Amino acid sequence: MVVVVTGLGLVGPGVVGAQDSLPAFQWSSEVVGKNAEVAAASESAVATPSGLVAKITDKGPDLTETQGEAKGKLGKLLLDQELGPVSPVNFLRHAIRNGVERDVPANTIVLILLFPVVTAIIAASRHLFGLKGFGIFTPAVVSVGFLATGIVSGLLLFTVILLVATIGRVAVRRLKLPYMPRTALLLWLVSLSVMGLILVAPYLNLLVLVELSIFPILLLVLLAETFIDVQNKRGMSQAVEMTAETLILATLSYFVMKLESVQTFVLLNPELVVVAVAVFNVFLGRFEGLRLMEYWRFRKILS
């Protein structure tokens, strides 16, 4: 009787093939050793500070991409939803499902539905609380940029752009150029600094910045023009205050759009979301009282 153990390449009581089994045993041992080395290297990469940085800056599923995990997950939720016959209360759900079945990205639909929700939140923050920021559109667009970059990388880009715009404005002012050439030169400086940050990103393990598309970068670069314009018209202190408020509103909007429960709700209940946002904006416009920050501003008069 000959017993063969294939995993180690050994041949049992018979001596047949004993010499031939030795290379197989060595080869198997080498494979096991290499696999152990690869596993140990992977564990050490995660354990090192650089590995932790790469893990922290991972932005997760990107709602702005037309392919990937977000599209598949949201599309499955939509296709699994039970719909009755077409009626005034579910016609939009039928239309969205038909579009998704014909390869319209579900996450794009979610982003379009969420954008009015975010702008309503920003409008309420100004009308009820007194946070101005750079209007409504800029914080909303910056929040979409944060979705694409991730909050850590987005804030880093945001900070670099504003610092370069501020320093560049002081330097370019000495040239005494008209507004348009001066702004174009400042945007040239901002673009070069952003490119430099992206080139340095691999050495800092900021892999999210390396993989960015041009879309979120342009959104954040264009923010520099608004910041420069406010600096010219209202001064540095007012520009810094409005920038901080814009950052607060954009971060709040980012976290709202990032919530999976919110994404699922707007996708599965689009009619309710559309009507609710419209009604909310109408009632918001009817409010004529003092803003929350105005109570603090005029506290001495009110008391």
pLDDT tens by residue, 250-272: 999 999 998 989 988 998 889 99
Predicted local distance difference test score (pLDDT) of residue 1: 44
Q: Which long-range contacts (CB under 8 A, 24 or more apart) does 6-10 make?
A: none
Predicted local distance difference test score (pLDDT) of residue 72: 66
pLDDT at 246 over 80: yes
Per-residue pLDDT of 103-127, as tens digits, reads 888 888 899 999 999 999 999 988 8
Q: Which band of pLDDT confidence, cut at 50, 70 and 90, is reported for residue 23?
A: very low
The residue ranges of every structural domain in the chain are 4-47, 69-302
pLDDT at 292 over 60: yes
Q: Which band of pLDDT confidence, cut at 50, 70 and 90, is reported for residue 20?
A: very low
Per-residue pLDDT of 44-92, as tens digits, reads 444 444 443 444 344 555 555 555 555 567 777 777 777 778 888 888 8
List, as one string, the DSSP characters of the chain. ---EETTTTEE-SS-TTHHHHHHHHHHHHHHHHHHHHHHHHHHHHHHSHHHHHHHHT---S-TT-SSSHHHHHHHHHHHHS---S--TTTHHHHHHHHHHHTT--HHHHHHHHHHHHHHHHHHHIIIII---SSTTHHHHHHHHHHHHH-HHHHHHHHHHHHHHHHHHHHHHHTT---HHHHHHHHHHHHHHHHHHHHHHGGGGT-HHHHT--HHHHHHHHHHHHHHHHHHHHH-HHHHHHHHHHHHHHHHHHHHHHH-HHHHHHHHH-HHHHHHHHHHHHHHHHH--S--HHHHHHTHHHH-
Question: d(Cα 131, Cα 124) in Å, to the nearest integer?
Answer: 9
Question: d(Cα 268, Cα 263) in Å, to the nearest integer?
Answer: 9
pLDDT at 279 over 90: yes
Predicted local distance difference test score (pLDDT) of residue 274: 93
pLDDT at 31 over 50: no
Q: Which band of pLDDT confidence, cut at 50, 70 and 90, is reported for residue 208?
A: confident
Predicted local distance difference test score (pLDDT) of residue 278: 95
Predicted local distance difference test score (pLDDT) of residue 275: 94
Predicted local distance difference test score (pLDDT) of residue 119: 93
Q: Between residues 66 and 134, which one has the greater pLDDT?
A: 134
pTM across the whole model: 0.68
Predicted local distance difference test score (pLDDT) of residue 128: 86
Q: Are 157 and 217 in contact (CB under 8 A)?
A: yes
pLDDT at 217 over 90: no
Q: Which band of pLDDT confidence, cut at 50, 70 and 90, is reported for residue 38?
A: very low
Closest CA to 66 of 76, 55, 74, 58: 74
Q: Are 73 and 105 in contact (CB under 8 A)?
A: no
- Give the Cα-Cα-Cα angle 171, 177, 179 (nearest 5 degrees): 100
Region 19-33 average pLDDT: 44
Residue 17 backbone zone (phi > 0: left; psi -120 to 50: alpha; other: beta): left
Predicted local distance difference test score (pLDDT) of residue 46: 40
